[in-house]
Amino acid sequence: MMDLAFDKRWRDLLADLSKRFDAPLDLNGVIFLIGVQELGQHARNFKKDEKVNLMHVAICVLLTPYGYYKELGRDPDGWPHFERVKDLPSLNDKEQERLMKEAILGYFER
């Protein structure tokens, strides 16, 4: 089913963030930005493994309000760590994308 209001909110958020960062962003780009923001360190060039970790941090942060993760705290380098509280449901690619978009919209709207 098409959810036009949802799609518009998503497009508006992407347009706003793309303008703010002067770069076209997609779902993964937004997830990466959330990871950087949640890490809370200065903007810098991240190594490949750090980028993967930033994406993981963002996904954990995004899914915490849904009860899938809880934050355990930060390590000495300031990286947040999470524990999975319950398993994610079995979702196809479209359902996963929808869940992440909903979580991202919720993140920016709170």
Looking only at the bridges linking them, the beta strands covering 69-74 and 80-84 are antiparallel
**Whole-number pLDDT of residue 4:** 92
Q: What is the mean pLDDT of residues 25-49?
A: 92
pLDDT > 90: percent of the chain: 88
Instruction: Give me the mean pLDDT over the 89-100 stretch.
Output: 94
Per-residue confidence (pLDDT) for residue 110, from 0 to 100 = 81
**Cα angle 22, 47, 32; round to 5:** 45
| Cα angle 95, 56, 5; round to 5 | 35
Whole-angstrom Cα distance, residue 30 to residue 54?
11
Average pLDDT of 17-32?
A: 94
Look at 1-5, 37-41, 61-65, 101-105 and tell me which has the smallest mean pLDDT: 1-5
What six digits make up the tokens of 94? 């479209």
Question: CA separation (Å) from 83 to 19, 72, 74, 92, 103?
Answer: 34, 7, 12, 23, 18
Q: Round the average pLDDT of the chain to a whole number and report it.
A: 94
pTM of the complete model: 0.91
Total length of the chain: 110
Residue 42: band (very low, low, confident or very high) from pLDDT cuts 50, 70, 90: confident
Judged on CB neighbours under 10 Å (0-12, 13-18, 19+), 57 is: buried
